[in-house]
Amino acid sequence: MLQTLGTRGFADPALHAEGLYINCQWEKGQDIPVVDPSTGEVLAHVADAGIDDALRAVDAAHAAAAGWRATPSRQRSEILRRWFHLMTEHADDLAMLISLENGKALSDARGEVGYAAEFFRWYAEEATRIPGEYRPTPSGSHKILVDHEPIGISVLITPWNFPAAMATRKIGPALAAGCTVILKPASETPLTAYAMARLGEEAGVPAGVVNVLTTRNPGPVVSAMLADPRVRKLSFTGSTGVGRALLAEAAKTVVSCSMELGGNAPFLVFDDADLDAALDGAMIAKMRNAGEACTAANRFYVQAGIHDAFVDGLTKRMASLKVGAGTDVATQCGPMITQKAVQKIDQLVSNALQRGARATTGGKPREGSGYFYPPTVLENVPTDADIAFEEIFGPVAPVYKFETEEEAIRLANDTEYGLAAYIYSRDLKRAMRVGKGLESGMLGINRGLMSDPAAPFGGVKQSGLGREGGVTGILEFMEAKYYAVDI
């Protein structure tokens, strides 16, 4: 299986099962099993960091902080650029590792590696363009000078669904800003993080600037780091529930927080949409990573005039997808991350079916080994079914019919989330008007994919705080310092 791509060596899980990575030292540990979700078999074990290990990582990040902050931004930029090139060079191997531990199809994994590496290239460029400000006060009393300084030691916590990209989206801007970091990847997918740390070392990241640790007990371990007054930033990507708990934890020491949380993206299709384009977009918005994405279309609202043709087209496309192990190059829909995830999807679908929905394809978990759920389309779903309010995080597309623009906006906004939304219409004026009415941090207009390192990624409402990527992403890792200058 591993022979299908790359230089077997670097894609070998055993090579990256050495963690922890603290102060440029690899510390052995064989505590947490990493499982291949397509078989349920153990791929490797990684170390389990305790509170003492986490505080040693803070020590290392602290010891490196002054030197890294003082490193000229051009030099920081060049290290990030080298890291970008190394990721690109090892793209096939990294994709294989992601596919092995996360389960996503190799095509998705390759896409993720490209996306992830671009954050290093983008922030290599932004590192040398940190903004400042100089202007007179309106009263003319003095001059205002604003400088931006690195915020300090940053704790970065990432989920399992994009093991590479969620890490680089934080490490890139943090290092560009001059911060040292401790990355805590999800324990389901730690191998990619350790592999990237190896490449960072090769790129010239100095000891202590990037530290990586895995743990079975993220609650106490992260709390201990947040309680350390040297830690000044928490950048978290994960579920809204854990995000809320971490905000409360960070409040104790008033640590600055960036939060990229859950989503419940509506996908709106108006009668005047280009049907084929809407179906192409729907497949991308729904099926990237088999639906395990925070931006995944979670609710399809389709106007009455185009509804039946859309359901028909979507059913055909979903039913034709090849389900299998992500590492098989033919696979288009890999397994879910755990059996628990399959059970959650099953519950949401069963609830919708009991409430009167109909599955036009799929509708129940696949038997056999691995954590598979087949691509599923549900029609006639009641707008108040559980599935309309929870992240499905799987290959299930519930379709709801609407009549008017106002109704579509009201239904789309009926959620605590506000991360991403999609609108398909040939009338750009309408699309922009509807977009304005939607409570969402990001909108795809006639596009099923919006993620781009050069754009500000993030949500409103309970989908998060702050933005990653783009020109503002670096400021999440900086503090503005204002000098009142008497000239």
Find the shortest distance in angstroms from Cβ 141 to ligand NAD: 43
Nearer residue to ligand NAD within complex by CB, 187 or 327: 187
Closest distance to ligand NAD from the beta carbon of 73 (Å): 26
CB atoms within 10 A of CB 416: 12
The CB-nearest residue to ligand NAD is 238
Are 123 and 476 contacting, i.e. CB atoms less than 8 angstroms apart?
A: no
As measured in angstroms, the least distance from the Cβ of 28 to ligand NAD is: 21
- How far apart are the C-alpha atoms of 334 and 326, rounded to whole Å? 5
User: Rg for the chain (alpha carbons), in Å?
Assistant: 23
The CB-side HSE value for 50 (13 A sphere, CA atoms) comes to 3
- For residue 418, the minimal CB distance to ligand NAD (Å) is 11
What is the number of alpha carbons within 13 Å of residue 151 lying toward its C-beta?
24
Q: Which is nearer to ligand NAD, 150 or 238 (CB)?
A: 238
In terms of CB distance, is 317 or 344 closer to ligand NAD? 344
Residue 204 or 220: which CB sits closer to ligand NAD? 220
Q: Which residue in 314, 318, 312, 401 sits closest to 357, CA to CA? A: 401
Q: How many residues does the chain have?
A: 487
Contact present, 180 and 154 (Cβ < 8 Å) = yes
Instruction: Name the strands in the sheet holding 25-26, side by side, starting at the edge strand that comes first in the sequence.
Output: 25-26, 21-22, 210-212, 181-184, 153-157, 231-237, 256-260, 464-465
Q: Closer CB to ligand NAD, residue 257 or residue 419? A: 419
Query: Which of 260, 292, 379, 391 is labelled catalytic?
Result: 260
Q: How far is the CB of 172 from ligand NAD (least distance, A)?
A: 14
CA 288 – CA 239 distance, rounded (Å): 18
Q: Between the CA of residue 446 and those of 24, 33, 275, 482, what are the distances in Å?
A: 45, 42, 11, 42
Spatial separation of the C-alpha atoms in residues 106 and 115, rounded to whole Å: 14
Query: In the complex, what is the shortest distance from the CB of residue 166 to ligand NAD, in angstroms, rounded to a whole number?
Result: 6
Q: Return the number of the residue (259 or 431) whose C-beta is nearest ligand NAD.
A: 259
User: Considering beta carbons, is residue 31 or 405 the nearer one to ligand NAD?
Assistant: 31
What is the DSSP-derived secondary structure letter of residue 457? B
Annotation marks residue 260 as catalytic: yes
349: left (phi over 0), alpha (psi -120 to 50) or beta: alpha
- Which of 322, 304, 309, 301 shows the shortest CA–CA distance to 395? 322
Beta carbon nearer to ligand NAD, 54 or 209: 54
Least Å distance, CB 69 to ligand NAD, is 26
Residue by residue, DSSP assigns 380-443 as S--TTSGGGTS---SSEEEEEEE-SHHHHHHHHT-SS--SEEEEE-S-HHHHHHHHHHS--SEE
Distance, first Cα to last Cα, the chain = 69
Q: Can you read off the two tokens belonging to residue 313? A: 């087209």
User: Are 408 and 304 within 8 A, CB to CB?
Assistant: no
Q: How far is the CB of 442 from ligand NAD (least distance, A)?
A: 10
Task: Give me the residues that bind ligand NAD (CB under 6 A), please.
Answer: 157-162, 166, 184, 186-187, 218-219, 222, 237-239, 242, 245-246, 260-263, 294, 391, 419, 459, 464
State the catalytic residues.
260
